């Protein structure tokens, strides 16, 4: 009795081809999912006309005088090791007929009363270091137009930072008085495989 070993070789080659194609499809699927989810909380690089238009539309959509460009959950999901992550904020003047939007000032503060947030677990000095933008100071807008004033909050989360969340407040004011307050949450994530 003579056995034909050619069939065994064909089976193993087709198995290798199927495995290579399966790994390729898995890799492409992971890249696609990562790109879809990263768009939801994308960082902004500059306050350009497109960002200004999005922030201006939020004034009417949310019926607020201070808006944050982060989507409905207002959460910035930032991976540890990310540098110069940008979040757009905007404020419109108290008097809609006023064209003095240059006088609007922003102030960034964060929640300190919750022991489970980043301040409670890492300390205030570590959370202060997350912000490239100055904390607890009046900040001039990066851009202004007839609808309002706009500012880009900049964050850098150092590599190795443990996962945590931190609520951040944005206060806007002008010489006539306080415009309002809005907030968002920073969620520090562990870096993934990709």
**How many angstroms separate the CA atoms of 75 and 71, rounded?**
8
Q: CB within 8 A of 193, min separation 6: which ones?
A: none
Longest dimension (CA), the chain: 101
pLDDT above 90 (res 64): no
Distances 139 to 63, 106, 161 between C-alpha atoms, Å = 23, 5, 27
Is 2.60.40.10 the CATH number for 43-189?
Answer: yes
The pair of three-digit structure tokens given for residue 102, joined into one six-digit string: 């240059």
Distances 128 to 10, 45, 119, 172 between C-alpha atoms, Å = 62, 21, 9, 20
pLDDT digits over 149-169, tens only? Answer: 899 999 999 998 999 999 999
- Model confidence pTM above 0.85: no
Determine the pLDDT at residue 187.
94
């Amino acid at each position: 009795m003579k056995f034909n070993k050619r069939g065994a070789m064909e089976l193993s080659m087709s198995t290798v081809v199927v495995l290579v194609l399966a790994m390729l499809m898995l890799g492409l699927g992971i890249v696609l999912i990562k790109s879809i989810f990263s768009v939801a909380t994308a960082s902004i690089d500059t306050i350009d006309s497109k960002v200004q238009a999005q922030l201006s539309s939020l004034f009417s959509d949310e019926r607020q005088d201070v808006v944050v460009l982060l989507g409905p959950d207002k959460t910035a999901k930032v991976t540890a090791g990310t540098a110069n992550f940008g979040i757009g904020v905007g404020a419109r003047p108290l008097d809609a007929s006023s064209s003095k939007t240059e006088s609007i000032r922003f102030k960034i503060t964060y929640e300190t009363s919750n022991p489970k947030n980043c301040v409670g677990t890492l300390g205030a000095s570590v959370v202060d270091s997350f912000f490239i933008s100055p904390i607890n100071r009046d900040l001039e807008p990066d851009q202004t137009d007839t609808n309002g004033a706009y500012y880009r909050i900049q964050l850098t989360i150092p590599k190795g930072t443990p996962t945590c969340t931190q609520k951040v407040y944005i206060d806007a004011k002008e010489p006539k008085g306080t415009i309002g307050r809005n907030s968002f949450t920073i969620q520090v994530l562990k870096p993934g495989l990709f």
